Amino acid sequence: MKCSEIIEILERLAPPSMACEWDNPGLLAGRMDKEVGTVFLAVDATEAAIAQAEEAGADMLITHHPLIFKPLYKVNDQDFISRRILRLIQRDISYYAMHTNFDSAPGCMGELAGRRLGLTDVHVLEQMGSTESGIPYGIGVTGLISGGLTLREMAEKTKEAFGLSAVSVFGDVDSETKLQRIAVCPGAGGSTAKEAIRWGAQVYITGDVSHHEGIDAVACNMAVIDAGHYGIEHIFTEFMENHLSKILGGDIQILKEREAFPSCVL
């Protein structure tokens, strides 16, 4: 199967038109006509992920975060981004990224995170548009936790749902108040906190929350659980492995990176 045919499958799931204007999803390096026998999945195109792709004999690398965000004026071995691009091209590995289009597409990142947390009555947190059939799409989701949980219980549930050893919490973790309305925004969700407040969320689960974003949310009666950027978004690789395996069957080998959180709490 050619790289272009796999891209068609990816873009049926998460059309590039659903990406934010500032984003850069798509084929970032390599050949559309490349014959693909092995696909390798990763959250980021790190040195480790590329090395694992090479080890696996991958013909195509698919990541969530694009390696290229800003224009590259030179592709050489003098900086880490162009060095990785050069390496991928030399190994003839076609490289595709699906970022905010995957974040916003129906059934993708936001809904996946909400499903892991067991949310019901789920709605898009920050709507960006609607599909031709009228299904809303956008960033994050909000929903209800059946019966409600205390903030401490919600933090434990978040750790369990995403396989985390720790989370950061803004709010009163000793409160016995049962919280039901939850919002979740995988990735860096500080700028979307206002949407969670508008929905009346009592707990906002996201990543990369700054000190001021956290205390400002609490001042608006919304607790925040910071599960880390990678902490939630690593669900991308497992979902894509299952999705592509169902569609492609045994025709193409689908592999994913060894889970490696880029930061840790000591």
Where do the domains of the chain lie, and which CATH numbers do they carry? 3-102 (3.40.1390.30), 106-232 (3.40.1390.30)
Q: How many residues does the chain have?
A: 266
**Interior CA angle at 172 toward 118 and 224, to 5°?**
50
Give the tens place of pLDDT for each residue, 121-149. 999 999 999 999 999 999 999 999 999 99
For residue 23, give every residue at least 6 positions away whose Cβ sits within 8 Å of its Cβ, in sequence order, or none: 66, 99, 100, 101
Q: What is the pLDDT of residue 202?
A: 98
CA atoms within 13 A on the CB side of 159: 12
Q: What is the pLDDT of residue 228?
A: 95
Average pLDDT, integer, range 98-102? 98
Task: Give yes or no for residue 186 having a pLDDT over 90.
Answer: yes
Q: What is the pLDDT of residue 107?
A: 97
> Which of 158, 141, 140 lies closest to 149, judged by CA?
158
Please give the model's pTM, rounded to 2 decimal places: 0.96
Distance CA 24, CA 42 (A): 17
Q: Say if residues 62 and 97 touch (Cβ distance below 8 Å).
A: yes
Distance CA 132, CA 119 (A): 26
Task: Give yes or no for residue 266 having a pLDDT over 80.
Answer: no
Average pLDDT, integer, range 231-235? 97
Q: Which H or E element spans position 150?
A: none
What is the residue whose two structure tokens read 């700028």?
Answer: 191
Task: Give yes or no for residue 167 having a pLDDT over 80.
Answer: yes
Q: Say if residues 138 and 179 touch (Cβ distance below 8 Å).
A: no
Distance CA 1, CA 123 (A): 37
Give the tens place of pLDDT for each residue, 209-231. 999 999 999 999 999 999 999 99
Q: Which H or E element spans position 115?
A: helix 109-116
Q: What is the pLDDT of residue 260?
A: 83
Band of residue 259 on the pLDDT scale cut at 50, 70, 90:
confident
Q: What is the pLDDT of residue 53?
A: 98
Tell me how crowded residue 262 is: count the other CB atoms within 10 A of its CB.
12
Distance CA 194, CA 143 (A): 16
> Which of 126, 137, 159, 114 lies closest to 16, judged by CA?
137
**76 burial class (0-12, 13-18, 19+ CB within 10 angstroms)?**
exposed
Give the tens place of pLDDT for each residue, 60-86. 999 999 999 988 999 999 999 999 999
Average pLDDT, integer, range 166-173? 97
Distance CA 30, CA 221 (A): 49
Q: What is the pLDDT of residue 249?
A: 85
